A and B are shown apart, each in its own frame.
Chain A
Amino acid sequence: MKTTATPDPVEATGRTPVEEAPPEPEQAPASCTERGCAAGEKPMGRKRFLAQVASMVGLSAVALPSLVRAGLEAVADGRTEESGAGFLKDGPEFEEDEAANIIIRMQRELRKAMRKPIEQRKWVMVIDLRKCTGCNACTISCIAENHLPGGVVYRPVMEEEIGTYPNVSLRSTPRPCMQCETAPCVPVCPVHATWIRPDGIIDMDYDQCIGCRYCMTACPYHARTFDFGYSYTEGTPEPDQPYEKVPSFEYGKRWKQQKGRSPTGNVRKCHFCTHKLDAGMLPSCVTSCIGYATYFGDANDPDSLVAELISRGNKIRLKEEMGTRPRVFYLI
């Protein structure tokens, strides 16, 4: 298994003989997801990956009530309650053929969820591994949406070959932040710069973050990366291209990518595009998924697509036994 979103000298499709020696536990999928398997490093099969996930013991997560309160306060700025917002209105009439489109359905459900108070929403993401082709559209869309600098990736896609020639298949696994219900990254933050919102999203305050990276170590999914402020165009004849200078919209604020200013020097992570949710729009990885493999919605809404999907028997969560209770489900 390897991460296709982190620079790696040799491209993806590392073959994965299951019978090979198991990787060291501490190197297991996590190390691969973070660094990408170096050439020649033994990747592992999906079954083994899942088995290992099952055997790993995670950090005991303690949800500190004070942090939850902090989160509540942070979002209680009235924005999500605003009655005049467009997402509260009914959208245009869609015909039956259009309504069959899951993007349209999920966007409607999102609008419905946004009408409720934040603590009544339960955002979950569902990723159907039978449909993910490993194209990396989500990876790049996320980079573009959130203006991620070099080295920061919120949604890598891991790819593994299963079987031996000629009986081989391929499985691709996107890995966003799992937005754990009991998130190991939250309690370790010494400055309370990260917390669980009432709707379940793990929030960040870049201005609070001191860049100590404890949370990176604590996350069993390696979903957090450090922003060193690398620019993709550094060293070229025209560095700092216009698209790099325009501020991003993360967390409902405008962040300029600038050395010495947040979020440079901070830890960064996937946030389900909260700034888009606030505007009544789906996360970028959902709308950019060309395989229609990524679903998003409010699990508290029994009529929602995600509620339907996670009621089925073919769902798994990564490292569930660690007690992290991820809000990202995989269909297999």
Chain B
Amino acid sequence: MNDTHAKPSGLSRRQFLKTSALVGGCAALATACRRAEDLSARAESGALSPEEFYELSKAENIVYTTCMNCNTGCGIKAKIVDGVMIKVDGNPYSPWTMTPHIRYAHSPAEAEIAKLDGAICPKGQAGIQTLYDPYRIRKVLKRVGKRGEGKWESISFEQAISEVVEGGRLFADVPGEESREVEGLSDICALRDPAVMARLRADAAMVANGEMTVAEFKRAHRAHLDKLIDPDHPDLGPKNNQLVFNWGRMKAGRSQFVQRFISNAFGTVNRIGHTTVCQGSLYFACRAMSEQYVNGQWTGGRKFYWQADLRNTDFVIFAGSNAFEGGYGPPLRTPKITNGLTERRFKFAVVDPRMGKLGGMAWRWVPATPGSETGLALAMIRWIIENERYDKAYLSAANKAAADAIGEPNWSGSSWLVKIGEDGPGDFLRVADLPEADRPEGDTDRFVVLRDGRIGAVDPNDTAEPVVGDLLVDTTIGGIPVKSSMQLLYESACEHSLSGWAEICGIRVRDITDLAREFTSHGKKAAADIHRGVSQHTNGYLAVAAWMSLNLLIGNIGWKGGMIESSTYNATGTGRGQPFPVNDMHPGRLGPFGVSIIRDRADYEKSTLFDGYPSKRPWYPIADSIFQEVIPSAGDAYPYSIKALILYMGAPNYSLPSGNELNDILTDTAKIPLFIANDITIGATSAYADYIFPDGTFYERWEFHGSHGSVSQKVQPVRTPVVTPLVDTCTVFGEEMSMSLESMMMAMAEKMELSGFGPDGFGNGMPFTHPDHFYLKMVANVAADGAPVPDADAREVDLLNRSRRHIAAHTFEESRWRKAVGEDWWKKVVYVLNRGGRFQDYPDTYRGEQLTNAYARLINLYCEKTARSRNSMTGKRYDGIPRHYPVLDCLGRELPDTESEYPLFLSTYRQSVQTKTRTNSAYWLLAVVPENAILMNRITAQDSGFKTGDEVIIKSATNPDGVWDLGGLGKRPVSGRIKVVEGMRPGVVTFSLGFGQWGNGAVDMRVDGDTLRGDRRRGRGINANAVMRVDPFLKNTALSDPIGASVVFYDTRVRLERVG
């Protein structure tokens, strides 16, 4: 391997940069400048037309790709002069950045198309400074001090790979670690035989289900017991699981790449994302609502959520959803709102304790108390049901045939009957439960409705016989008390009177009735659009279910002006007619098994660890990607200890509520013996790693960003390298490539001789020796999905090459790209890449009054699968229907924090000029808002004697000193400055995310013996996550939603104290 490749640079450097650990200046600038002068002279002499002079107008200087300075995934055009990306604008082919977007058939080689710019937000504009960031790393860094002490040396890629794979006394020079043997990845990857793994997996499942004893298992597999984490608990899986791969932001493409290496080649189940720190309960409540009943099983629930079709709706309630500044996302949602305000009859309400830019333009701002979101939705539901302002025909349709009969795209279980047991609503009533005499003929697994007193049997997917059911049923059938799903919702809504709900929400009854009346005054052209503000509470799942039930009541899902489910062209190749099923093209792939370190999608009761309630830490039978559980679970070694952690593009100790609790674990080499990070800078958490491998930014690599419910078209935005990556190169499988997450994994695979990579990585004669071999195949899949895209013409193929003429061959080489997909697909691949992805035309988005890509399946109002799962801490079943709860800890107890000691609620928000973690490197953004503030209402300020500019410390019951303890990086107060405003609910204070950083160049580091001075501009402002409420039972993890697993941002009581 070779990492000596350095970019030519004519720029002088400061002394400490002899290390070359950081990314340097750009190639050939002197030449570029000479060329510029020449251009000017020719322009002035008239030898050059203005168009020729203005190089950013030319197609050959534009590469279409996809932004990731937040997770919205806007289409962008990177404009490049002399190999330097100097301007970013919106991609007019993308519905994200142009409203309406241009037809897909336009040629990007056309001069007028090249000149057409879409709109992209300030973070997207400032992405240039993410790419050209003075603090980017270009070589592998290895710590030379204790974890988190900020002392590094740059080492060769080859050495780094050898060390992490082979292990040994890797930190012998670090005091206290002289004799510490680190187990390398090769040893952790204990079980490599796919056949053996398959046998162990099958029998371990039998042990967990009680169909085989542990003794029998041990007898049967005595030759392989040494490969298990714990032979007495075979369901924990093989030792391979002791490698945990955790990420902060990863999209399709990289996701399949990581799956290939981590799961299919290395064989660990621990491939864990970050969903719960964003809006996990929103995803998992909607997954529960979208579970389908097939062959007697609940299956196929989608991890997604619906968002409003803002372009066509007449009324929207944004609840905890900041469409102008976040929430997938400003460039695509803002114009629909602002055009709606001036061009058509459109109004919107905002439910949020902070008014913000969105509330500031709203018809009604409803500053409900944090944590009361479920209550507000239930109050509206009560009013709507009592005033019969729901869509009775839609809700009564009990199966697909009934929906078809009335022209509805989907149907719900609103009329289905639920058995009421001693511990509340349980399973649905099934035909088998009926007295034999009343049993309709046919399948006994069907559900039951009542229609005018007569029993009807429901096969939800039946397309032949429409079944319609009564909505409000409370009766006894065959001695079994039953209620309809809708009846259960109504009873939940009747837990309080409207004035009772109003009191809980801290609003007027009029606010409830006005919202409910308006919401039910536009037919299906109204929507309740929710986001983090609803989901990041201890009752987040139920709050989401309540708000989505509101949408269900007016039957707006799948309708123009109603609610959208995103729709994407498949990149993974599993669809019909797609050429490259990349996951299956993996000879010798492993099938990993075992309980994950975060115990996701697993029942405590069905594990050999079951030992009564509470479990040591919570299990999450219906959630996954539980970010806040990864490191604390490693800390508590529950359900087992880990041996290595690979962290990619994540900053859990910064971004998680009470993230500071993680630092003790991260720095403990007994709990995390090997910690590898992959990052573009020394980040907030990678600063605590043993090794940091450099990665490319999103402008230097591949991904398939997918879509969100805010986009009504079928799409697949592609992310592709637009410049030569600024990091050093390395050689893997004999090929030169830039250092990146991919090359790190490929080199590990090469060193460990794992399956699925190398000269025959995709099968005989199909090499996987360069990341391009993987990603180009995925582009071909996108091109092939459904009706394939046209072939690019010769002019377009030429454009692809010319627009990438500045990119080094290790990153762009036409012959390599072409070979990766073959001649049959190449021109279609070019067609997709030249447009930055694949996007459905606007007129194809709607079919009459419905969405073309409408959600067209069952929607569960009562979620039986959820109601069958148990909370592993309390032993109680989860609620199947939305219900309001106060803030509770993991044992279901109310918190002791009193209003007298901690009088204020703490909340967070996002500004348009910062994302949650990654954009403190953008100096242009920092010029607009150099630091955030603690927003406080004037009334609160007057009561507490604060004024704008006062510096205060925030304190809470679990961080009574208001301190960030960063271990070796020191301690810092959780302090910031007050900003007094009108647009806040009194009693609530908030701060915007993304400030108060220590990562990404905000603090000093030592690299190769020299000081790498931090830039204090990058660390200004406050991040108050450290004071967020720690769960009193778990003690190292923030409060969490027991069902949807969202980690809680909005339920902490705090006190503010003046500094000094």
A249 B53 Cβ-Cβ under 8 A: yes
Q: Is B779 an interface residue (CB 8 A)?
A: no
Interface string of A268-304 (1 = CB under 8 A from B): 0000000110111110100111111100000000000
Of residues 93 through 132 on chain B, the ones whose CB sits less than 8 Å from some CB of chain A are: 98-100, 102-103, 106-107, 110-113, 115-122, 124-126, 128-129, 132
Cβ contact of B128, chosen from A14, A17, A161, A243, cutoff 8 A: A243
Q: How many angstroms between the C-alpha atoms of A287 and B367 in the bound complex?
A: 34
Q: How many angstroms between the C-alpha atoms of A94 and B200 in the bound complex?
A: 61
Interface stretch, picked from B32-40, B650-658, B811-819, B848-856, is: B32-40
Question: What B residues does A52 contact at CB under 8 A?
Answer: none
Question: What A residues does B937 contact at CB under 8 A?
Answer: 165
Q: Is B927 an interface residue (CB 8 A)?
A: yes
Cβ contact of A288, chosen from B89, B924, B930, cutoff 8 A: B89
Interface stretch, picked from B13-21, B397-405, B1032-1040, is: B13-21
Question: What B residues does A4 contact at CB under 8 A?
Answer: 928-929
Q: Is A238 an interface residue (CB 8 A)?
A: yes
Q: Is B842 an interface residue (CB 8 A)?
A: yes
Question: What B residues does A243 contact at CB under 8 A?
Answer: 84-86, 128-129, 132
Q: How many angstroms between the C-alpha atoms of A92 and B913 in the bound complex?
A: 35
Q: Is A62 an interface residue (CB 8 A)?
A: no
Q: Which residue of A lies closest to B106 (CB)?
A: A92
Question: What A residues does B359 contact at CB under 8 A?
Answer: 170
Question: What B residues does A6 contact at CB under 8 A?
Answer: 927
The interface centre, meaning the residue of A9, A11, A104, A280 with most chain B CB atoms within 10 A of its CB, is A11
Interface string of B984-1025 (1 = CB under 8 A from A): 101000001000000001000000000011010000000000
Distance to closest chain A CB from B707 (angstroms): 18
Distance to closest chain A CB from B821 (angstroms): 28
The interface centre, meaning the residue of B46, B111, B125 with most chain A CB atoms within 10 A of its CB, is B125
Cβ contact of A98, chosen from B25, B89, B103, B122, cutoff 8 A: B103
Q: How many angstroms between the C-alpha atoms of A164 and B983 in the bound complex?
A: 8
Cβ contact of B25, chosen from A144, A168, A242, cutoff 8 A: A242
B338 A292 Cβ-Cβ under 8 A: yes
Do A290 and B103 form a contact, CB below 8 Å, given A168-B360, A168-B982, A246-B84?
no
Of residues 242 through 282 on chain A, the ones whose CB sits less than 8 Å from some CB of chain B are: 242-243, 245-247, 249, 252-254, 256, 275-276, 278-282
Interface string of A121-146 (1 = CB under 8 A from B): 00000001011011111011101110
A11 B932 Cβ-Cβ under 8 A: yes
Q: Which residue of B lies closest to A95 (CB)?
A: B103
B86 A11 Cβ-Cβ under 8 A: no
B132 A242 Cβ-Cβ under 8 A: yes
Do A39 and B977 form a contact, CB below 8 Å, given A104-B116, A136-B913?
yes
Q: Is B26 an interface residue (CB 8 A)?
A: yes
Q: Is A40 an interface residue (CB 8 A)?
A: yes
B119 A143 Cβ-Cβ under 8 A: no
Q: Is A217 an interface residue (CB 8 A)?
A: no
Q: Is A321 an interface residue (CB 8 A)?
A: no
B979 A11 Cβ-Cβ under 8 A: yes
Cβ contact of A131, chosen from B22, B32, B128, B341, cutoff 8 A: B341
Q: How many angstroms between the C-alpha atoms of A40 and B948 in the bound complex?
A: 6
B44 A279 Cβ-Cβ under 8 A: no
Q: Which residue of A lies closest to B931 (CB)?
A: A9
Cβ contact of A9, chosen from B57, B132, B930, B992, cutoff 8 A: B930
B112 A86 Cβ-Cβ under 8 A: yes
Interface stretch, picked from A21-29, A176-184, A186-194, A228-236, is: A228-236
Q: How large is the interface on A (under 10, 10 to 19, 20 to 34, 35 or more residues)?
A: 35 or more
Do A252 and B357 form a contact, CB below 8 Å, given A8-B930, A98-B103?
no
A77 B355 Cβ-Cβ under 8 A: no
A280 B82 Cβ-Cβ under 8 A: no
Q: Is B938 an interface residue (CB 8 A)?
A: yes
Do A133 and B338 form a contact, CB below 8 Å, given A86-B51, A246-B86?
yes
Q: How many angstroms between the C-alpha atoms of A292 and B928 in the bound complex?
A: 21
Do A238 and B367 form a contact, CB below 8 Å, given A135-B912, A280-B115?
no
Do A92 and B324 form a contact, CB below 8 Å, given A5-B927, A163-B982, A280-B57?
no
Q: Is B43 an interface residue (CB 8 A)?
A: yes
B117 A282 Cβ-Cβ under 8 A: yes
Q: How many A-B residue pairs have CB under 8 A?
A: 334
Q: Is B612 an interface residue (CB 8 A)?
A: no
B341 A130 Cβ-Cβ under 8 A: yes
Q: Is A150 an interface residue (CB 8 A)?
A: yes
The interface centre, meaning the residue of A4, A232, A287 with most chain B CB atoms within 10 A of its CB, is A287
B125 A85 Cβ-Cβ under 8 A: no
Interface stretch, picked from B236-244, B328-336, B431-439, B446-454, is: B328-336
B135 A133 Cβ-Cβ under 8 A: no
Of residues 82 through 131 on chain A, the ones whose CB sits less than 8 Å from some CB of chain B are: 82, 84-87, 89, 91-92, 94-95, 97-98, 100-101, 103-104, 107, 128, 130-131
A130 B36 Cβ-Cβ under 8 A: no
A77 B134 Cβ-Cβ under 8 A: no
Do A86 and B912 form a contact, CB below 8 Å, given A133-B338, A237-B1013?
no
Question: What B residues does A65 contact at CB under 8 A?
Answer: none
Q: Is B519 an interface residue (CB 8 A)?
A: no
B928 A5 Cβ-Cβ under 8 A: yes
Do A140 and B117 form a contact, CB below 8 Å, given A161-B982, A238-B17?
no
Question: What A residues does B912 contact at CB under 8 A?
Answer: 133-137
Q: Is A13 an interface residue (CB 8 A)?
A: yes
Q: How many angstroms between the C-alpha atoms of A107 and B115 in the bound complex?
A: 9
Distance to closest chain B CB from A247 (angstroms): 5
Question: What B residues does A136 contact at CB under 8 A?
Answer: 122, 912-913, 928
Q: Is A171 an interface residue (CB 8 A)?
A: yes
Q: Is B90 an interface residue (CB 8 A)?
A: yes
A11 B911 Cβ-Cβ under 8 A: yes
Do A235 and B113 form a contact, CB below 8 Å, given A131-B342, A161-B983?
no
Do A10 and B977 form a contact, CB below 8 Å, given A39-B949, A140-B924?
yes
Q: Is B49 an interface residue (CB 8 A)?
A: yes
A10 B335 Cβ-Cβ under 8 A: no
Do A13 and B979 form a contact, CB below 8 Å, given A100-B100, A103-B98?
yes
Q: Is A313 an interface residue (CB 8 A)?
A: no
B106 A145 Cβ-Cβ under 8 A: no
Question: What B residues does A289 contact at CB under 8 A?
Answer: 119
Q: How many angstroms between the C-alpha atoms of A91 and B53 in the bound complex?
A: 20
A232 B924 Cβ-Cβ under 8 A: yes
Do A249 and B986 form a contact, CB below 8 Å, given A7-B927, A287-B90, A287-B118?
no
A133 B357 Cβ-Cβ under 8 A: yes
Q: How many angstroms between the C-alpha atoms of A274 and B377 in the bound complex?
A: 52
Cβ contact of B992, chosen from A11, A17, A170, cutoff 8 A: A11
Question: What B residues does A282 contact at CB under 8 A?
Answer: 117
Question: What B residues does A9 contact at CB under 8 A?
Answer: 930-931, 949, 977
Question: What A residues does B119 contact at CB under 8 A?
Answer: 103, 137, 287-290, 292
A135 B325 Cβ-Cβ under 8 A: yes
Q: Is B832 an interface residue (CB 8 A)?
A: no
Q: Is B981 an interface residue (CB 8 A)?
A: yes
Distance to closest chain A CB from B979 (angstroms): 5
Q: Which 7 pairs of residues, A with B, have the shortest CB-CB distance?
A: A170-B360, A242-B26, A39-B949, A278-B50, A91-B112, A131-B338, A236-B134
List 28 contacting pairs A-B, 8 Å CB cutoff, sorted by A. A9-B949, A11-B992, A15-B982, A39-B949, A82-B49, A85-B50, A86-B51, A86-B112, A91-B110, A101-B99, A128-B338, A131-B338, A131-B342, A140-B924, A141-B120, A168-B355, A170-B357, A233-B923, A237-B14, A241-B133, A249-B54, A252-B44, A252-B50, A275-B50, A278-B51, A279-B57, A281-B115, A288-B117
Chain A residues at the B interface, C-beta cutoff of 8 Å: 4-15, 17, 39-40, 77-80, 82, 84-87, 89, 91-92, 94-95, 97-98, 100-101, 103-104, 107, 128, 130-131, 133-137, 139-141, 143-145, 147, 150, 153, 161, 163-166, 168-172, 232-233, 235-243, 245-247, 249, 252-254, 256, 275-276, 278-282, 284, 287-293
**Further contacts, 9 of them, CB under 8 A, given A10-B977, A130-B338, A133-B358:** A6-B927, A10-B933, A143-B927, A144-B924, A161-B981, A232-B927, A245-B26, A278-B50, A281-B54
